[in-house]
Amino acid sequence: MSKETIFIERFRSDNKTLKFTGHYVEMPKELVNKPIGTEIFSEEYETGHPQNRSSDKVVMGNQPDNVAGYRDGLATWYWKNGNIKQKTMHKDGVPNGLSESFYENGQLNEKGTLIENGRRSDDWKKFNIKGEIKWQ
């Protein structure tokens, strides 16, 4: 991480399981001056569902000029069953570095390096649900 960051955990409102963990530069505006543990929902959150984002927001990567803050370092998303869904490194708000996605059963789905504004490098691999390489 290149800057001072805030570690954020988001939980699902239905069963309180972990949904996301990651480091942000600046506090998302929905949490400014709110006590620890304040719940926000995707319809309130600028980096949530795209229809709730104003047109000047960048969908992929939450660029540094996004007033809601931006990711820097490892961001992890989780399936409802608690298994990791995706792990992606970010630099200055842009996916950059190792990225892995997983099937709901925990098996590796895709793995590779993201470069230049979140584009995939040549080392990308896709696996089937049994863990066998489908393509690379």
Please compute, for residue 59, the number of CA atoms within 13 A of its CA located in the half-sphere on the CB side: 5
Q: What integer pLDDT is reported at residue 41 of this predicted model? A: 55
Question: Mind giving me the DSSP string for 109-127?
Answer: EEEEEEETTTEE-TT-EEE
Task: Using alpha carbons only, give the angle 8, 13, 14 rounded to the nearest 5 degrees.
Answer: 140
Q: How confident is the model at residue 131 (pLDDT cuts 50, 70, 90)?
A: confident
Please compute, for residue 133, the number of CA atoms within 13 A of its CA located in the half-sphere on the CB side: 7
Q: What integer pLDDT is reported at residue 56 of this predicted model? A: 43
Architecture of domain 6-135: Single Sheet (2.20)
pLDDT of 47 above 60: no
Residue owning tokens 């298994």:
83
Q: What integer pLDDT is reported at residue 3 of this predicted model? A: 67
Terminal-residue alpha carbon distance, the chain: 29
Look at 22 and 39; give whichever has higher pLDDT: 22
Highest mean pLDDT among 28-37, 79-88, 126-135: 79-88
Q: What integer pLDDT is reported at residue 94 of this predicted model? A: 77
What would the pLDDT profile of 17-31 be if each residue is shown by its tens digit?
A: 898 889 887 666 667
Q: Could you tell me which residues are beta bridge partners of residue 20?
A: 10, 77
Q: Are 124 and 130 in contact (CB under 8 A)?
A: no
Q: How confident is the model at residue 45 (pLDDT cuts 50, 70, 90)?
A: very low
Q: For the chain, what is the radius of gyration of the CA atoms?
A: 16
Q: CA-based diameter of the chain, in Å?
A: 48
Q: What integer pLDDT is reported at residue 46 of this predicted model? A: 46
Q: What integer pLDDT is reported at residue 102 of this predicted model? A: 96
Q: For residues 61 and 125, give the distance between their C-alpha atoms in angstroms, rounded to a whole number.
A: 22
What would the pLDDT profile of 51-109 be if each residue is shown by its tens digit?
A: 444 444 443 444 445 445 678 889 999 999 999 999 999 887 778 899 999 999 999 99
